Structure 1
């Protein structure tokens, strides 16, 4: 930045503000204010202060608008848009300035300049916002159509159609092609009109509406009797026949023609991608019976492969282990291990160690088979020797059983003494004591 020029521009801004200020004895002089603001904007731009330059251009536009100088006001906004676009790299602010300038140009009576500003706004917005860019292009072609200047809108038509196809808005692209066809018909540009008609049929087939494509083809033949003898009509008829007969080879033959290649890039790309309704199903017929193998997890290193989890693997009966040979007179580290049947032989570096036995399969134990928990054992006592009992005499070994006294009933008529029952002693009462 140049400090000297910036100071000069600041002084110009102060003079412009003073001219635009209303005082007690005079009114604002918008002519002088607008010119001074524009000079300050130019000075800021040369000095490299682009943000201050855009603000000065905006104030100059407001001052010129109040003096009914619409063209100069639009010109100031156009300059501000250029600074936003080229120097500040702010496309959205640049598009806003261009659109404001377009409205002022259109109000002033310069439709060509107004459409040009809308075209600039659309091109600036294409990389950042396709929707707003399309709106700007539609406004541009509308201005051209209202002023009957369709010949200036052909490039705008193409850019709008390209964006609509890229965003897969085929219905709106067909509508834009119809608008282009009307302007071409007024211009009597028959070759371009026939290419636009062929493009409409291609887009109708792309969205899968062969009935509408045939209807459009008949309308084109009725509108222009000479259309049926053109190469575009022959190509369109071949495409319609291919879709009606489900003949993909015929469609590919039609799209391989030089005429399709000469169309716009996006239209030609859509034509190359056309597929008849049954072609998409035929592409996947070979894959219908494909049954991918189930997922099998990899076993750990050194273990046999695992069976799939979704399949039941019956366990083989346990094999009787053979007795290993008698150990030779070698040290434990030098003894060779002999692999058992069904076990893999390990490398020589590990052959001295037997492989780890795989854990036994889980078997549920029932209550009757559950082992008893160990109980606390009493302190061990020294074992006692068993002593055989000494033999006794036979007389002592066999003793007669003792006689049990029997109760003899008393004789008849004898008195029987009853047992004395317990009789508690009467305790003296409280008065007797």
Structure 2
């Protein structure tokens, strides 16, 4: 540990191990994530499961994902062990073609549903499902099944070559952004301390103690994160992972909403919120002198990037990613999405109602809003709840 980090650690040593939070403030944790995500100096670490997740994206979303990783530049740090795990997995056909078996799985499920419905449901059941008869129910069920199977077939054939392009992109990216570390030395060091940490239930890795292979993987990644932050003099870090095992993070019992209202924990309200275990925060503070460790799922990252509230100027670039993960979109976000899905009106607005030469102040915002409302009509979201100035800033500046 260098002198600067040692002095920080000494200064913070008066803080002991804190208990887990009973209630977490959604606004505060959201601000912490945004502060880390949009801080040009905060390092961002990717877990292996994020790289694997990205192979399921459609072509447009994959392009947006690659663009973001490229934009991160030196902020992006990929632990050497993540590259090692990726190398073990990337040649698996189920990784590079994740939907190949989907039509077969769907057919099995729907064959069982149709057979079960035929045996278990009578005319009275059909009527309760708003069908005129059991024959009508079976006809409608068959039609729905045919549609779903066609969708499944389309999904299985959705690779237009972009997954091979993603493999090539990662080949270059990981070579440039992975930590320069000896994975053999990392493995030996982790094995030397893993059993003791696991026995004491210290994060991370305890949940993997029973795995026959790679049970030290999480600990190695954690040690790399700490080492990088110490070397870079950083007291903050953002780790993006879909791993929600209790040896990394926990969920509070209650949530505090905007305005101070406290409610019982709800996955739908929390939108993937997980807090780092207190012993992780304590160890991070001991090494770096700070407590700026943030854990986030890929859904949280994309929702923040694609939000017109958090990222007005750049939100349009992530609209296709937000749609791919079925993100929770505000009416303002949906208005931006509408323009991106309708290039005709987008182009017309750019050259007419939203056009400007020297300053955006040249645009009549009331006229812009009126024109947008006429164009969107019944768009399926609340036009009266759209912040039209934000839409203009996101798309036309």
TM bin, normalised by shorter chain, reads under 0.3
Q: Which has the higher helix share?
A: 2
* Structure ID, larger Rg: 1
Q: Which has the higher strand share?
A: 2
Taking structure 1 as the reference length, the TM-score comes to 0.22
Taking structure 2 as the reference length, the TM-score comes to 0.23
Higher relative contact order (CA 8 A, sep 6+): 2
